[in-house]
């Protein structure tokens, strides 16, 4: 460290404080991974961020937290060393507070991205630091974390998320009929995967095919607002997560936080878990937007109302048909972003724990009455999230299934290449992917 004397004094202070505490140890420090993820979720809600914007922010926060924590853990311990994402471990201090580093890293990202919210973030950082031992141990962690957060923001400054672009409305059979904004996210630079375009979908079924007619008939029945079904409507609403919520990526961060708390994860593995999940979510953005942009497929409501134009004798039009969701959808149908996000996060969670069959409860931001649901596994929740889009009448079956498949594939690449040990067996070598 640059201050060897100060380092020794900080170490002695920490040891002495622990000895004085004796049988009455001080309260544990705050959990910065949970605290700052909850602040990020609240920010997305307050800013009415899109799903793509939300996924990007969550990944930036959690990558900064991970690189800050991993740098300190890995700097002088080859057996524990793991790959960094954006900030190399050899720049980290030799001895510093993981908690201070995590808080300061997340703070730097959020303040930089949302300067109008700085007072909120400053207050939380001050509270986090006040709960830690005074001295160089904490201060060096804070300084390092701030440096990491700033470096993450610098690395992502020109990542393709801006400026905003729109795709004009399409026309004719099979085409999505509205202009939609945010299409620049098809060029969003990935955190972990090598080539987002490798995951572009194969496309929806041809309008004249039997497969398309079967999908058409299914959503026309299951998603019909004129056929009351409280259970189907509740399932749609539970996963709807529109603007003003923490968005589908946020629901999966809530799941990661819930499960990690139940498993008692310490700060380092918890930071790694949230980084893996959020990178998988973010790296799903470009393939999803790219696929929507390329195919620009119409939503079921348009397809059903204008079925007399699709040249398929097996599809019958209903000009008055309305989706159970109440709205048509704000972007092209193929594929479902809810599905791709959900599968990516579920796969990352199962890979981290080497077990998909972990039960958890969740109340999403859009859960009817705030009532939680309990799931037996990550994949079961992802399957329901995807199905909810057909029950709402806004996605065809293939739009859901191909989205789920793409999300799983993206997460598998993230798990196979990211945050692995640099020596010895990797954590993910034998996990079910």
Which domains are assigned to the chain?
4-155 (1.20.144), 166-417 (1.10.606.20)
Quick one: average pLDDT of 143-168?
98
Phi-psi bin for 371: left (phi > 0), alpha (psi -120 to 50), beta? Answer: beta
Quick one: average pLDDT of 73-90?
94
Q: What is the pLDDT of residue 17?
A: 40
- Given a cut of 70, whether residue 289 has pLDDT beyond it is yes
Q: What is the pLDDT of residue 20?
A: 35
Band (100; pLDDT cuts 50, 70, 90): very high
CA distances from 199 to 74, 132, 175, 194 (A): 33, 45, 22, 11
Q: What is the pLDDT of residue 26?
A: 58
Q: What is the pLDDT of residue 27?
A: 66
Band (28; pLDDT cuts 50, 70, 90): low
Q: What is the pLDDT of residue 423?
A: 87
Band (29; pLDDT cuts 50, 70, 90): confident
Residue pLDDT, tens place only, 316-364: 999 999 999 999 999 999 999 999 999 999 999 999 999 999 999 999 9
Q: What is the per-residue burial (b if ≥16 Cβ within 10 Å, else e) of 356-387?
A: bebebebebbbbeeeeebebebbbebbbbbbb
Run of H or E including 373: strand 373-375
Band (424; pLDDT cuts 50, 70, 90): confident
Q: What is the pLDDT of residue 30?
A: 82
Whether 139 contacts 12, CB under 8 Å: no
Tokens representing residue 66 in the block: 């991970």
First to last CA, the chain: 40
For residue 402, how many other CB atoms are within 10 A of its CB? 21
Tokens representing residue 281 in the block: 């979510």
Closest CA to 102 of 43, 62, 60: 62
Share of the chain above pLDDT 90, in %: 90
Beta bridge partners of 374: 361
Q: What is the pLDDT of residue 40?
A: 98
Phi-psi bin for 284: left (phi > 0), alpha (psi -120 to 50), beta? Answer: alpha
Q: Is the pTM of this model over 0.85?
A: yes
The DSSP letter of residue 204 is P
């Amino acid at each position: 460290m640059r201050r060897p004397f100060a380092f020794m004094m900080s170490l002695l202070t920490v040891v002495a404080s622990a000895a004085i505490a004796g049988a009455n140890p001080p309260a544990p420090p705050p959990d910065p991974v949970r605290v700052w993820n909850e602040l990020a979720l609240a920010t997305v809600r307050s800013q009415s961020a899109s799903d793509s914007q939300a996924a990007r922010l969550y990944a930036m926060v959690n990558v900064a937290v991970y690189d800050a924590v991993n740098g300190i853990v890995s700097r002088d311990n080859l057996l524990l060393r793991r790959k960094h994402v954006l900030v190399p471990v050899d720049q980290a201090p030799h001895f510093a507070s993981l908690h201070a580093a995590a808080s300061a890293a997340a703070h730097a990202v959020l303040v930089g991205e949302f300067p109008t919210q700085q007072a909120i973030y400053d207050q939380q950082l001050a509270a986090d630091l006040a709960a830690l031992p005074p001295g160089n141990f904490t201060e060096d962690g804070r300084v390092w974390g701030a440096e990491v957060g700033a470096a993450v923001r610098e690395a992502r400054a020109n990542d393709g998320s801006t400026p905003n672009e729109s795709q004009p409305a399409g026309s004719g059979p099979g085409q999505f009929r509205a202009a939609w904004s945010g299409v620049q996210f098809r060029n969003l630079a990935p955190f972990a995967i090598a080539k987002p375009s490798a995951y572009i979908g194969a496309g929806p079924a041809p309008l004249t095919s039997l497969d398309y007619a079967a999908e058409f008939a299914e959503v026309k029945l299951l998603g019909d607002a004129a056929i009351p079904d409280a259970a189907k409507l509740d399932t749609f609403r539970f996963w709807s997560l529109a603007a003003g919520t923490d968005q589908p990526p946020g629901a999966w961060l809530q799941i990661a936080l819930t499960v990690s708390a139940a498993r008692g994860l310490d700060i380092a593995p918890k930071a790694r878990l949230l980084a893996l999940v959020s990178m998988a979510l973010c790296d799903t953005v470009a393939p999803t937007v790219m696929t929507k942009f390329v195919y620009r497929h119409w939503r079921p409501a348009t397809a059903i109302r204008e079925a007399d134009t699709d040249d398929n004798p097996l599809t019958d039009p209903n000009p008055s048909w309305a989706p159970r969701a109440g709205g048509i959808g704000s972007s092209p149908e193929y594929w479902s972003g809810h599905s791709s996000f959900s599968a990516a996060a579920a796969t990352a969670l199962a890979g981290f724990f080497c077990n998909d069959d972990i039960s958890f409860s969740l109340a999403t931001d859009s859960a009817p009455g705030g009532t939680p649901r309990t799931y037996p596994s990550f994949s079961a929740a992802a399957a329901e999230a995807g199905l909810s889009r057909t029950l709402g009448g806004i996605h065809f079956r293939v739009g859901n299934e191909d989205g789920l498949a793409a999300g799983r594939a993206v997460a598998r690449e993230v798990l196979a290449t990211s945050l692995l040990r640099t020596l010895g067996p990797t954590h993910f070598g034998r996990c079910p992917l």
